[in-house]
Structure 1
């Protein structure tokens, strides 16, 4: 195996495993694919065959209508009229007899090999080698139908991160480059939800009589055009761990439902005949109504037959009207099993988790601006800032740091505090602020929120000294 792709693209190849998806252009640049190469996509179950050609600018041109696509998956989906297909496993290079995915894996192996002999960036490259090796192992297990399963928190820890923040795109790119997806989607669930690393299903994995509902049940294959990279939604699954729901059978005695609700402090229970057979729900209201009409009522008499049921990846905003009306919705996992419940209390808690650091940061921002306004004039502030400042209202968080890092400015405040410790904590808060203001889906850790509270208390204590 060569230590560097032909054409001297080792540097670019290494870049590929630092946060973006491999493209057909990368295969061309590495000499693994040639302009004009013929591609073939065979749907084995029905025998249809589609042809295409690789263009000089790294696109796939369909034989049928001449349409060109940068994404192999998008090209395959359009060619076959399919909702979802993994184009890297669908398209075969005719003269090589190899799938595009095999070329992609060779490119990644070469990039890792190049990194192994590089003298610089050793720590980062070692990290990339570790991730590459780990995902290759996961890919092997997925292909052997023995996929690895772990919580989202454990998954993202492979990239040494604790939440789905700015590195989520890199994580998705690394997974995609190794032909992996998570089921359910690791974006749309809680950090403690268990996901499996699988290969996207090909046609042979689909039920022979698959209808629309069956197709909707399959993991979504990204089209590599960037359409799925922007995903800033807060989903129902982000509030529900999908660990199952407490339930009763329609034939159960009402005392069983009441006891389970009291023991768990629940306001409702699912009524199930089986994991996919939801008969309805019982609530305190439906129980009261049933017992009022029939003193010896059973669960069957107290069923609300039309509870709202939503998939785990449904946008939370779309579900708010139903929550307002019914106070809860049941949640389906990726296999359409009733696996969770979201209540209005869950929504209030989550929005509280989002709002608390936002409001604390707003208070901190206003207090720092007030302190600087009392201690300096605009003219003196300009000398510390890297941009034109016409008033204190134009100051940003970075400006606060630059001003307070200056020893002369710190002395002018007259605070009996250690400047380096104060600035270090303010810089930690800057990182928290970036996470909050970028609207990441995961709650800010409680220890970070407590740092904000304590810092605000400190500012209020010393602001009167200026």
Structure 2
């Protein structure tokens, strides 16, 4: 809601500021009047019979009783206790008993009331939910998680709330919006495949409560390792992003027979088979080679004599670190967020993933080369630099141009007319802008996901146009 001194435009701006993928801070609560300077905070831990006191500073930080100040409620809680990891928004209470998370929710609810439900998000596709609708969806998910009925959906369905089909620069916004509702995904949405199912669960209020941090005092170095609401996470290509990583596993028990193992391997065209004594208990694997060796050494051998070591990693392990293991063993078994064996990744899976990425680079490389040829063939370098680099600090040849430079040249009405193409300039530039964003995501490794077919087709069709008109 707005007060008498707040204009509708100011209210819209404030609402967008709070709902547009930005983590709410204590300073926001202070600025909105939901917290007051020097207001007292308490962190009560009834299970261990202790409580901690703090106060809100004028700059929106939390000052502990010993004078230390922290912008992050979670870091303040961790330092106050001395060990463990906490969601500070669920830990600190004001004097009337409300938690910081409740005040944050009130602030977001106000922003949602002020938000224009029809206003498109800046640089977001029209298919995304409005900030107000997304806030309502996340609020419902939080209530379901608190009731023990977490919402399950695919990563693709989750991304659709933000109007995207792949992960990348939008990850930070998603993580911030989830954090503002004390939600996380299990498993982490940016470390599994697009088709994997995740649950929106409530962020743990208190973890490893009585476990010291490797016996170390809580120092700045210790704090640096805490995943916090203040920064973004750098996410590369993880094992879990490969479709087979969490797709399920076919296995045998240690007591199985050779016939059972061989039948499964033939039916599924497998070269190896995990041996599990339970979902979490990996005993190793059997392969055609290990079976042949065991039977050659002892014609009366049991399957247990053919079991060899098998490597396993968590789904969130960086893929690049697993490559040496795959080169040596051809496969690695994958543990999910519950530490159960949930899938297998082979060298062939990795080759396919990197092959797709290489294909994207080739398409983008052709586009870049053909655009440069078109501009170099139609215009002089001074015409280009006058638009893209008036100070002549960056472009000394056509080879120094970026896709943004190509766009600036071709969107110029005079130069477009000089090009002589019987095409609509505005439509062409709109498509080039779409492809520029796609290209930046790929070339800057902002996303570990394969490009959607629609994006690949956009680049292919532009290349076809450039081949036809650029010759």
Give the TM bin, normalised by the shorter chain: 0.7 to 0.9
Provide structure 2 residue ranges, at least 5 long, that are not aligned to the other structure: 123-128, 215-224
Cα distance per residue 1:321-359 (max 9 Å; x no partner): 211211111111111111111111111111112221112
Task: Determine which of 262, 266, 291 is the counterpart of 1:262.
Answer: 266
Task: Determine which of 160, 173, 176 is the counterpart of 2:176.
Answer: 173
Residues 426 and 129 (structure 1 numbering): CA distance in 2 closer, same or farther, change over 3 Å?
A: closer
Match of 1:368 in 2: 371
Greater Cα offset, 366-375 or 336-345 = 366-375
Match of 1:225 in 2: 230
Task: Determine which of 275, 278, 281 is the counterpart of 2:279.
Answer: 275
Residues 141 and 418 (structure 1 numbering): CA distance in 2 closer, same or farther, change over 3 Å?
A: closer
Aligned-partner Cα distance in 2 for 1:447–1:123: 22
Aligned-partner Cα distance in 2 for 1:396–1:270: 49
- Give the C-alpha shift of residue 84 in structure 1: 2.1
Residues 12 and 417 (structure 1 numbering): CA distance in 2 closer, same or farther, change over 3 Å?
A: closer
TM-score, normalising length: structure 1: 0.87
Task: Determine which of 437, 441, 444 is the counterpart of 2:451.
Answer: 444
Match of 1:104 in 2: 104
Provide structure 1 residue ranges, at least 5 long, that are not aligned to the other structure: 213-219
Aligned-partner Cα distance in 1 for 2:421–2:136: 52
Aligned-partner Cα distance in 2 for 1:256–1:450: 46
SS in 2 for 1:42: strand
SS in 2 for 1:307: coil
1:91 matched to 2:98? The reply is: no
Greater Cα offset, 381-390 or 82-91 = 381-390
Greater Cα offset, 429-438 or 410-419 = 410-419
Match of 2:440 in 1: 434
Aligned-partner Cα distance in 2 for 1:37–1:356: 57
- Give the C-alpha shift of residue 260 in structure 1: 1.8
Match of 1:215 in 2: none
SS in 2 for 1:225: coil
- Give the C-alpha shift of residue 88 in structure 1: 0.4
- Give the C-alpha shift of residue 400 in structure 1: 1.8
Instruction: Please identify runs of 4+ aligned residues in structure 1 that moved more than 6 A.
Output: 205-212
Count of paired positions? 446
* Correspondence 1:46-195 to 2 at 5 A: 46-63=48-65, 65-93=66-94, 95-115=95-115, 122=119, 127-195=130-198
Task: Determine which of 403, 411, 414 is the counterpart of 2:409.
Answer: 403
- Give the C-alpha shift of residue 258 in structure 1: 2.1
Is the CA contact (8 Å cut-off) linking 2:245 and 2:345 kept in structure 1? Answer: no
Aligned-partner Cα distance in 1 for 2:81–2:413: 67
Greater Cα offset, 166-175 or 290-299 = 290-299
* Correspondence 1:269-348 to 2 at 5 A: 269-304=273-308, 306-348=309-351
Residues 400 and 123 (structure 1 numbering): CA distance in 2 closer, same or farther, change over 3 Å?
A: closer
Aligned-partner Cα distance in 2 for 1:132–1:414: 48
Residues 23 and 13 (structure 1 numbering): CA distance in 2 closer, same or farther, change over 3 Å?
A: farther
SS in 2 for 1:279: strand
Residues 13 and 264 (structure 1 numbering): CA distance in 2 closer, same or farther, change over 3 Å?
A: same
* Correspondence 1:176-215 to 2 at 5 A: 176-203=179-206
- Give the C-alpha shift of residue 457 in structure 1: 4.6
Is the CA contact (8 Å cut-off) linking 1:251 and 1:299 kept in structure 2? Answer: yes
TM-score, normalising length: structure 2: 0.86
Cα distance per residue 1:56-101 (max 9 Å; x no partner): 11111121x32211110111122223342111001111x2211111
Aligned-partner Cα distance in 1 for 2:101–2:431: 47
Is the CA contact (8 Å cut-off) linking 1:193 and 1:241 kept in structure 2? Answer: no
Task: Determine which of 31, 41, 45 is the counterpart of 1:43.
Answer: 45
Aligned-partner Cα distance in 1 for 2:369–2:347: 32
Match of 1:216 in 2: none
- Give the C-alpha shift of residue 291 in structure 1: 2.6
Is the CA contact (8 Å cut-off) linking 1:429 and 1:452 kept in structure 2? Answer: yes
Is the CA contact (8 Å cut-off) linking 1:192 and 1:241 kept in structure 2? Answer: no
- Give the C-alpha shift of residue 180 in structure 1: 0.8
Residues 211 and 375 (structure 1 numbering): CA distance in 2 closer, same or farther, change over 3 Å?
A: closer
- Give the C-alpha shift of residue 261 in structure 1: 2.0
Is the CA contact (8 Å cut-off) linking 2:83 and 2:213 kept in structure 1? Answer: no
1:237 matched to 2:240? The reply is: yes
- Give the C-alpha shift of residue 438 in structure 1: 3.0
- Give the C-alpha shift of residue 427 in structure 1: 3.6
Is the CA contact (8 Å cut-off) linking 1:5 and 1:30 kept in structure 2? Answer: no
- Give the C-alpha shift of residue 178 in structure 1: 0.9
SS in 2 for 1:98: coil
Is the CA contact (8 Å cut-off) linking 2:87 and 2:204 kept in structure 1? Answer: yes
